[in-house]
Structure 1
Amino acid sequence: MSSIDWGDAPTWIAAVFAGGAALFAGLTIRSQRQQIAEQRDFIGEQSQNLTLERAELRASQEQRRWAQAKQVSMTFRTAGQSGVSDYNASVGYDRWSVDVFNGSDEPIRDVMVRFGDTYNAASAHEVEANHLPDQGRRTAPLAVLGPGRTANFESPQFQEVTVDNNRPALQFTDAAGAVWRRDEHGVLTEVEE
């Protein structure tokens, strides 16, 4: 039979405890690494959620920013006889008449209609205005156009051949201070200042 050398027993016991401690430490480190990986995944998901929420907020803000401008419309037609005769027949129109309607719930400001290269040649008046001494006509730009109101702008007289080259374009400032332009085709764009 072999005998146990009890002098080495504390070393063996210490070695078993050290091995157990090393195993416990290894398992703890592995568990912590797993927790860190799970936390990184969670943070990544939260980051994606925040990015999506920010994108939705931006889209909502952009939609609100365009909401008032989209409710402002412009209709136009040719008006007035040119007075030029061609073989005793009238040759058409010599100016534009433009109606600007503010269909929003807030007023718009600095309402102008451009005809070709000129803004200030137009006169404007609110259609619903009473007959003022100046017949309701004011020099463009119209300072304020209230909600649900319409303003009429008329171009200067052009030669009949140039009327079509001087089509109207609307420019106005919304309640938030953004400047907008609506062209003859109804396309709405924000004007960069």
Structure 2
Amino acid sequence: MPLAYLHLGSYQPDWGDIPTWCAAVLALVAGWVAYRLFKIESGRDEKAREEARRAQAVKVAAWFADSPDGGEEFVPGALIRNASDLPIYNVHVRHTCSYADGEFEEIDRILNPPAEDDPFGVGVHPDARGPDVSIIPPGECHVPLDAQHLQVFHLPHVDDWQVEVTFDDASGQTWSRDRHGILTRG
């Protein structure tokens, strides 16, 4: 009798169990594939949400300019370009002066709240600190250096001027663009 059981040709497997096991393995594989697809789609959705959040902020840039319109008038300061279709708010400009010895000096400027004769609030308040309600509409805005720091501009040991800008977009999200042009969410 023991030899009869060892003969493989006479073995009859229980086929009812093999399809059940195959179905279980396929269900596990299908579950794993569904999980991976969910993770991929979730990543795409998050990336799309982040791009939508950044849509206005990526259209705002700032740099140092010798004059507001590139003309002959010498008025050094920051030129802020808002290429979006919506205004930006609470604008804080930081002029960064680098000296030949590698040292930096930072000059903070916050735009004034809108006034009757300046409806878009593009005037400046020297050395102001704290939040503000300033607005820069679509287009360009020149934020000049104040008289005190304009004297520094003419010193021979000043190598370079750069600009950093912090602002709120139309949705209220705070953004910063550093002196290297890198945009970060504040």
TM-score, normalized by the shorter chain, greater than 0.5? yes
Q: 1:151 to 1:142 in 2, by over 3 A?
A: farther
State the shift of 1:138 in Å. 4.1
State the shift of 1:72 in Å. 0.8
Q: 1:41 to 1:147 in 2, by over 3 A?
A: farther
Cross-structure match for 1:153 = 143
TM-score by length of 2: 0.64
Cross-structure match for 2:54 = 66
Q: Percent identity?
A: 22
**Where in structure 1 are there 5+ consecutive unaligned residues?**
1-22, 80-92
Cross-structure match for 1:108 = 88
Structure 1: how far apart are the matches of 2:33 and 2:167?
A: 43
More helix as a share of residues:
1
The yes-or-no answer on 1:137 pairing with 2:89 is: no
The yes-or-no answer on 1:179 pairing with 2:174 is: yes
Alignment check: 8 A CA contact 1:110 1:144 kept: yes
Select which of 164, 179, 185 maps to 1:169.
Answer: 164
Select which of 35, 42, 49 maps to 1:54.
Answer: 42
Q: How does 1:89-128 map to 2 (within 5 A)?
A: 96-116=76-96, 117-120=106-109
Which amino acid in the other structure matches residue 153 of structure 1?
V
Structure 1: how far apart are the matches of 2:160 and 2:107?
A: 12
Which amino acid in the other structure matches residue 64 of structure 1?
A
TM-score by length of 1: 0.62
Alignment check: 8 A CA contact 1:109 1:172 kept: yes
State the shift of 1:175 in Å. 2.6
Cross-structure match for 1:39 = 27
**Where in structure 2 are there 5+ consecutive unaligned residues?**
1-11, 68-73, 97-105
Q: 1:66 to 1:73 in 2, by over 3 A?
A: same
**Count of aligned positions:** 149
| Aligned partner of residue 143 in structure 1, secondary structure | coil
Structure 2: how far apart are the matches of 1:124 and 1:78?
A: 22
Q: 1:46 to 1:75 in 2, by over 3 A?
A: same
User: What is the CA RMSD across the aligned residues, in angstroms?
Assistant: 3.2
Q: 1:124 to 1:158 in 2, by over 3 A?
A: farther
| Structure index of larger Rg | 1
State the shift of 1:130 in Å. 8.3
